[in-house]
């Protein structure tokens, strides 16, 4: 076995980066020549976590086949969310907490998927199963991933396993979980300096639904009005992305991390699927979704069901 590259999904969030770093460190401890890489530059929240714990951001790659043909995936499995030449690579392992879709391999592989709130929760289990201690810095970035993915345990995707893992990792990393968690989430809500295109690309994933391609982006904020003051420009940018990339429907989920409510901005067609999925009426291309914070659990399944009817 040669060099193995480990990475999360495109437009990486804190779990995509953190799980890659942690899993690569575990593989090194197990004797594998592994390196964590990223399919995009870390966002402000992730960069805050990396700097806090004295870690270097993984190098960004666009293609991998020219460098190695062996990879491991974390925090994703769907090929459209992965590196562009994924079909040319040998996938040795996947560690994930999402649905399994659009995924196939020619060879057997190690696949670990669990219905928890964060991939890093699963990675912690793997450290324990292999009797390998988690270094403090690695514990810090894993803790950050859990805080981010569960919105400090407010997301419906959060499980008791995530909470227990976060408390354990906070002790190893020597931080106060709640105060650090709030600082981390607030670090990711500085949106004023970003263009509309940058906002839409911060945390966005594409999903095939029936014969359509649905793009769903999510941004976190402490002030919904601040984001929607740019509504016209955001909608125009979403429509432009639809044309350039062949998306049929583009949804922007804007989530208030303080009160766990979201508002949805919709561009493209068939928008009646949004009405069907969430039992809401779109007004000025918007719909308020109280208590909705999770794309994975509260947006994608409902939309998929609406498209399949």
Q: Which residues contribute to the annotated binding site for Mn(2+)?
A: 9, 13, 15, 75, 97, 149
C-alpha distances in Å from residue 89, one per residue of 17, 40, 276: 20, 19, 39
CA distance 235 to 241: 10
DSSP 147-187: HHHHTTTTSTT--HHHHHHHHHHHHHHT--HHHHHHHHHHH
Burial annotation 83-94 (CB, 10 A radius, 16+ → b, else e): beebeebebbbb
Percentages of the chain per state (helix, strand, coil), in multiples of 5: 40, 20, 40
**Whether the Cβ atoms of residue 37 and residue 8 lie closer than 8 Å to each other:** no
CA distance 253 to 245: 19
C-alpha distances in Å from residue 244, one per residue of 231, 236, 247: 20, 12, 8
Q: Give the residues across from 110 on adjacent strands.
A: 93
Binding-site sequence positions: 9, 13, 15, 75, 97, 149
Contacts (Cβ under 8 Å, ≥6 apart) of 33:
1, 2, 3, 4
DSSP SS3 for 296: helix
Cα-trace Rg, the chain: 19
């Amino acid at each position: 076995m040669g060099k193995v590259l480990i990475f999360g999904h495109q437009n990486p969030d804190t779990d995509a980066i953190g799980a890659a770093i942690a899993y690569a460190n575990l593989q090194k401890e197990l004797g594998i020549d592994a390196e964590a890489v990223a399919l995009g530059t870390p966002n402000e929240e992730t960069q805050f976590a990396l700097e806090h714990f004295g870690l270097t951001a993984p190098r960004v790659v666009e293609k991998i086949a020219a460098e190695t043909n062996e990879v491991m995936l974390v925090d994703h499995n769907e090929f459209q969310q992965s590196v562009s030449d994924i079909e040319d690579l040998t996938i040795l392992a996947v560690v994930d907490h999402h649905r399994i879709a659009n995924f196939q391999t020619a060879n057997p592989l190690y696949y670990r998927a669990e219905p928890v709130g964060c991939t890093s929760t699963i990675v912690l289990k793997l450290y324990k199963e292999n009797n390998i201690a988690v270094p403090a810095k690695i514990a810090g970035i894993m803790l950050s991933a859990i805080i981010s993915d569960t919105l400090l345990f407010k997301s419906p995707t959060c499980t008791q396993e995530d909470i227990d893992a976060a408390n354990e990792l906070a002790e190893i990393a020597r931080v106060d979980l709640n105060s650090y968690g709030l600082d981390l989430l607030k670090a990711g809500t500085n949106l004023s300096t970003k263009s509309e295109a940058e906002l839409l690309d911060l945390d966005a994933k594409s999903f095939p639904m029936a014969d359509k391609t649905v793009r769903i982006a999510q941004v976190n904020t402490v002030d919904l009005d601040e984001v929607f003051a740019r509504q016209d420009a955001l909608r125009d940018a979403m429509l432009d992305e639809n044309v350039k990339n062949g998306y049929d429907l583009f949804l922007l989920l804007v989530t208030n991390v303080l009160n766990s409510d979201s508002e949805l901005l919709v561009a493209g067609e068939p928008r009646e699927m949004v009405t069907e999925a969430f039992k809401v009426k779109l007004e000025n291309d918007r719909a308020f979704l109280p208590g909705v914070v999770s794309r994975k659990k509260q947006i994608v399944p409902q939309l998929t069901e609406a498209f399949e009817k």
